[in-house]
Structure 1
Amino acid sequence: MTNLTRLVSTDELESVFQRELATDRWAATETAYALAARHRDLGNWPASREWAQQCLRLLEGFPSETEEQVATGRTSVGGVQLPTFLHSGVVEERFGTLS
């Protein structure tokens, strides 16, 4: 994806997610967050919940003791603003308790 500020479709984001999952799990985690936000904004609550849960599952594989460990590498993905720090507390705050 060359232009990360353009609002892309969820299909495009899902394609990006699949590529990133194989090559860069942190980028895939950020993209899962973006997919959750994008589906929420579109009113697709089941898909939003599914992607938020995917984001949380991926986050379990990363350390989260310091700000550096949870800092996002990008400011936005597919036109969706990312939080400065990405950890389970942020996901639950933005999407509610998912368990």
Structure 2
Amino acid sequence: MTNSTRVASAEELESVFQQELSTNRWAAAESAYALAVRHREAGDWDKSREWVHQCLRLLEGFPSDTEEQVATTRVSVGGVALPNYLHEGVVRDRFGENL
């Protein structure tokens, strides 16, 4: 998705996620976070939870010792604002401990 400010549908975001999964796992984690937010906003709690888990699984593969290591590379994905830093603590803070 070249225009990061355009509001994309969940289906478009899922397509982007699938492409990123094989080429850029960090971007895929950012997209999974965006999908979790998008589904939560739509009231689809089960789908949101699935994407939160996908995001957390992807984040497990990255170091998180410094701010530089967890800094997001984009401001938004498909119209969903990303946090400045993406790591397990941020995700759990935004979506709750009991995922």
- Per the TM superposition, whether the score is higher than 0.5 is yes
One-letter code aligned to 1:40: R
In the alignment, structure 1 residue 43 sits paired with structure 2 residue 43 = yes
1:13-65 CA distances to partner (integer Å, 9 max, x unpaired)?
00000000000000000000000000000100000000001000000000000
Counterpart of 1:61 in structure 2 is: 61
- % of aligned pairs identical? 70
Q: How many residues align?
A: 99
Counterpart of 1:33 in structure 2 is: 33
Q: C-alpha distance in 1, partners of 2:27/2:98?
A: 21
Q: Which runs of 5+ in 2 are unaligned?
A: none
Q: C-alpha distance in 1, partners of 2:41/2:78?
A: 13
Equivalent positions of 1:1-99 (< 5 A) are 1-99=1-99
Alignment RMSD = 0.8
Q: Which runs of 5+ in 1 are unaligned?
A: none
8 Å contact from structure 1 (residues 10, 39) kept in 2: yes
CA change 1:63–1:80 in 2 (3 A) is: same
Q: Any idea what SS the aligned residue of 1:40 has?
A: helix
Structure 2 length-normalised TM? 0.97
Report deviation, 1:4: 1.1
